[in-house]
Amino acid sequence: MHQFIFDQPNYRVIFGVGSLDALPDEVRRLGRRALVVSTPAELPFAEDAARRLGDAAAGMFTGAVMHHPIEVVRAARERAREVDADCYVTIGGGTTTGTGKAIALETGMPVIAVPTTYAGSEMTPIYGMTEGGVKKTGRDRKVLPKTVIYDPTLTVSLPPQVSGPSGMNAMAHCVEGLYAFDGNPIVTLMATEGIRALARSLPVVVREPANLEARSDALYGAWLAGIVLGSASIGIHHKLCHTLGGTFNLPHAEVHTVVLPHATAYNRDFAPEAMRLAADALGARDAAQGIFDLIVTIGAPTSLQQIGMPADGLDRAAQLATQNQYPNPRPIEYGPIRALLENAYHGRRP
Ligand code: NAD
C-alpha cells in the first residue's frame, strides 16, 4: 500500500549539449552582474563563463575549496561587493557547487550552478561550512541554486579516473533513495532511472571520454541522483562514507565507489524490493554484485586499501559508523559493520 509525503522544491534546470549558451539570459533573469566562482583548477571554466557573460560578468572568484571555510565564503562575498555583483555563477565540481550553497546561505543572493561532475550537490538543500575548524552541515532550501545548467560538453574533459568514481557517487544517491524510509513513488522512479542511465553510460564514458551521447546520459543520471539525494534520507552507505571521508581524509567519490557494493550487500535481505529494482536497473541478478562488477568494468577502485585507508583504522571506523545512526533498513551493529569494512578494505566481491 502506498503511503508517503511528497514535498518537492521548484527546480529550474536547463539541460543539453550547448546549454551553457543560456547563461547570459539566466543571469539577466536573476540580476544584473554575476560573480563567477570556481576552484583554482577550474579557472578555464570560470574564464569561459565570464567571457560568455561579457558585461554581465562582474568578475571572478577562483578560491573555492573543499569543506567551505567561512573565511572563503566571506572573501567571495567581499569580492562580490567590490565588483558590484548581485548574483553568483558557480562552475565546477561538487566543491564549487558547495561553495555557492554556502554563499547563498550567508548572503541570500541568487546562485546559478553549472556542475561539471556527477556529484549532484546542485539538486540538494544539503550544505556544509567550516568555522573555527568545525564543519557544520544542515538542510535548507535557501541554498538551492535558482537555475542549474547541465551542459554535457563541459564534462568531456573529466578524465576516466574522475568520471568513474564521480558517477558511482551519483549511483549511491539512487541506491539509498530506493530504501529510504521517507521515499515516495517519484523518488523510486528517479532512482531506478538514474541507476539505469549511469550503468549504461559509465562504461562508455571511461572508454570514450569525448562521446557526447554517453556524457549526456551520465549527466542525466547524475541529475536524477541529485534530486533523489535531496528528496529522501540517507542510510548506512552515506554514514560510512561520511565517517571514512571525515576521519581518514579519504577522497570523496572514491570512498563512495568502494563502499557502495558492500553497503548494498549489508541491506540485501532487509530491503528486498529496493534490491530487486536496483538489480533490474543494473541488468544484474543481484544489486550488490552488479554494482561491484560495474566498478570493475569502469576501472574504478574496489578496495579501501587502494585509496589510502589505514588497516589499523577499521575498528575505529566501525565504532564511529555505529554512533549517531542514520535510518537504515537493517539495524546498524558493530559486528556486521566491522565485517563490511573488512570486506571493503580488501575489495572482496560482495
Ligand atoms: P570536486 O569538486 O573536488 O571535483 C573533482 C576534481 O575534478 C577536481 O580536481 C576538479 O578540479 C576536477 N574537475 C571538475 N570538473 C571537471 C571537468 N569537467 N573536467 C576536468 N576536471 C574537472 O569533487 P566532486 O566529486 O565533484 O564533489 C565532491 C564534493 O561535493 C565533496 O566535498 C562532497 O562533500 C560534495 N557533495 C555535496 C553534496 C551535497 O548534497 N551537499 C552532494 C554530493 C557531493
**Lookup result for grid cell 561550512:** 129
Q: pLDDT tens for residues 177-210?
A: 999 999 999 999 999 999 999 999 999 999 999 9
Ligand 1 center from residue 72 Cα (angstroms): 17
Atom of ligand 1 nearest to the CA of 95: 2
**What is the reported pTM?**
0.97
Q: pLDDT tens for residues 323-333?
A: 999 999 999 99
From 20, 42, 101, mutation site for ligand 1 pocket: most ligand atoms within 8 A of C-beta: 42
Ligand 1 center from residue 171 Cα (angstroms): 15
Pocket of ligand 1, beta carbon within 6 A: 39, 41-42, 66, 92-96, 98, 116-117, 119-121, 124, 126, 154-155, 157-158, 162, 166, 169, 229, 252-253
84-105 in b/e form (b: 16+ CB < 10 A) is ebebbbbbbbbbbbbbbbbbbb
How, if at all, do strands 126-131 and 134-139 pair?
antiparallel
The arithmetic mean of pLDDT across residues 239-246, rounded, is 95
Q: How many CA atoms lie within 13 A of 157 on its CB side?
A: 10
Q: pLDDT tens for residues 248-257?
A: 999 999 999 9
